Amino acid sequence: LVARMQGFGTTVFAEMTALANRTGAVNLGQGFPDTDGPAKLLEAAVEAIRGGANQYPPGPGLPELREAVAAQRAERYGLTYDPDGEVLVTVGATEAIAATLLALADTGDEVIVFEPYYDSYAACIALAGAVRRPVTLRPSGDRFTFDPAELRAAVTPRTRLILLNSPHNPTGTVFSRDELEIVADLCRRHDLVAVTDEVYEYLTFDDAEHVPIATLPGMRERTVAISSAGKTFSVTGWKTGWITAPPEFVRAAQTVKQFLTFTASAPYQRAVAYALGGELDWVEALRTSLQSKRDRLTEGIEAAGLTALRSQGTYFVQADVRPLGFVDGQDFCRVLHERAGIVAIPAQVFYDSDAGDPYVRFAFCKRDEVIDDARMRLGRIS
């Protein structure tokens, strides 16, 4: 294995799911729903295969999906993108992240990331030969946020990109307009590109609102926005994602993407094009249901004696394990697995610093009976 990939062993998600499968534990580790997406969407993929969508689609993506993505950004956020040149379909958000970083971060360039960060960010920055500059999200009140001074101090003459994820995995933070304005201000002043991972854009709770940073003044021209169908439609295995950005960024990402995968799978593109317009009621019901699952699991976590931080979005809630006498999430997760038969993720795997040591991430995108089983099992740890 090449030097730049040393230290990137098996992803924690694969590891934890394998552990749960091997031992029959309740899997609140890897974030995937245990029920399928809308029936008509599944049918649309089958129909697409029967209807002959089985050869290479165009490299940038099927026109119908690029049009549907552009329409979605316009209707939901008032952001207009030309489906022909400003939208690129990718193999999930994962490929969008990889292609964008490989296209825009040169050797030695610095990329600011908020830690805890999604694992593929660090790996793709390393693949690009670039350098990550973490800025730590810390609890402030009952949610995680950043210190603006720390963010400003992270900018150097080598900074090229700020990589942002909101709603944020794993903390569940949805960045407010004011927080995003601080990031936007830095981007404008230092001529940085914002790369935003918005895969949980529909999955926000209570009064949290997802604000795409591209909607802030002067940001559309310096933002590469990434999203995907996996979380919105509960089809994480379909790996259909997209980039919306000004043409020069889309061209750059596409240049890389051509040689990663050339193009994304055709039948799913056709099906997702349908769902982006046709299944929004279903998505709203998913959002409501996830909010009550969040409440259900959060109650169980607190009843077990942990402190849960408030999740404003995503599939995840984080808890502080110190009230139960643990100092380290990894130790806690071992005990949680042994005594309670539950798999969760120690948040420290998403950090460079030790700021994440006392936190554990739980996924609540599971059937109510699975969450209830987990609540009962959580009683065994104290």
Q: Which 272-301 residues touch ligand GLN, going by CB under 6 A?
A: none
Is 11 among the residues that bind ligand GLN (CB under 6 A)?
yes
Contact (CB, 8 A) for 225 and 74:
no
Q: Which 176-195 residues touch ligand GLN, going by CB under 6 A?
A: none
Q: Which does 361 bind (CB under 5 to 8 A by kind): ligand GLN, ligand PMP, none?
A: none
Q: Which is nearer to ligand GLN, 31 or 313 (CB)?
A: 31
Q: Is 9 helix (H, G, I), strand (E, B) or coil?
A: coil
Q: Which 22-51 residues touch ligand GLN, going by CB under 6 A?
A: 30-31
Contact (CB, 8 A) for 68 and 269:
no
Closest of 321, 299, 322 to residue 311, by C-alpha: 299
Q: What angle do CA 123, 234, 340 make, to 5 degrees?
A: 75
Per-residue contact string for residues 136-175; x = within reach of ligand PMP by CB under 6 A: -----------------------------x---x------
- Please give the Cα distance from 303 to 131 (Å, whole number): 41
Q: In angstroms, what CA-CA distances link 313 with 92, 179, 222?
A: 20, 16, 25
Residue range at the interface with ligand PMP (CB under 6 A); choices 209-217, 235-243, 273-281, 368-376: 235-243
Specify the amino acid at residue 272.
V
Per-residue contact string for residues 21-60; x = within reach of ligand PMP by CB under 6 A: ----------x-----------------------------
Count other C-beta atoms under 10 Å from residue 377's C-beta. Answer: 18
Q: Which is nearer to ligand PMP, 198 or 377 (CB)?
A: 198
Is 8 among the residues that bind ligand GLN (CB under 6 A)?
no
Residue 164: CB minimum distance to ligand GLN, A: 16
Count other C-beta atoms under 10 Å from residue 188's C-beta. Answer: 16
In the chain, the N- to C-terminal Cα span, in Å, equals 42
For residues 108, 114, 115 and 119, what is the CA-based torsion angle, rounded to 10 degrees?
Answer: -70
**DSSP single-letter state for residue 313:** B
Contact residue for ligand GLN among 165, 169, 263, 318 (CB under 6 A): 169
Q: Which 55-94 residues touch ligand PMP, going by CB under 6 A?
A: 92-94
> What's CA 328's distance to the chain center, in Å?
24
Contact residue for ligand PMP among 20, 130, 193, 199 (CB under 6 A): 199
Q: Which does 11 bind (CB under 5 to 8 A by kind): ligand PMP, ligand GLN, none?
A: ligand GLN
Question: 343: number of CA atoms within 13 Å, CB side?
Answer: 19
Nearest to ligand PMP by Cβ — which residue? 92
Contact residue for ligand GLN among 4, 8, 13, 296 (CB under 6 A): 13
Contact residue for ligand PMP among 171, 236, 312, 348 (CB under 6 A): 236
Contact residue for ligand PMP among 86, 115, 179, 197 (CB under 6 A): 197
Contact (CB, 8 A) for 119 and 92:
no
Q: Which does 93 bind (CB under 5 to 8 A by kind): ligand PMP, ligand GLN, none?
A: ligand PMP
Contact residue for ligand PMP among 38, 57, 134, 230 (CB under 6 A): 230
Closest of 365, 354, 367, 343 to residue 167, by C-alpha: 365
- Please give the Cα distance from 374 to 26 (Å, whole number): 7
Residues of this chain that interact with ligand GLN (CB under 6 A) are 11, 13, 30-31, 169
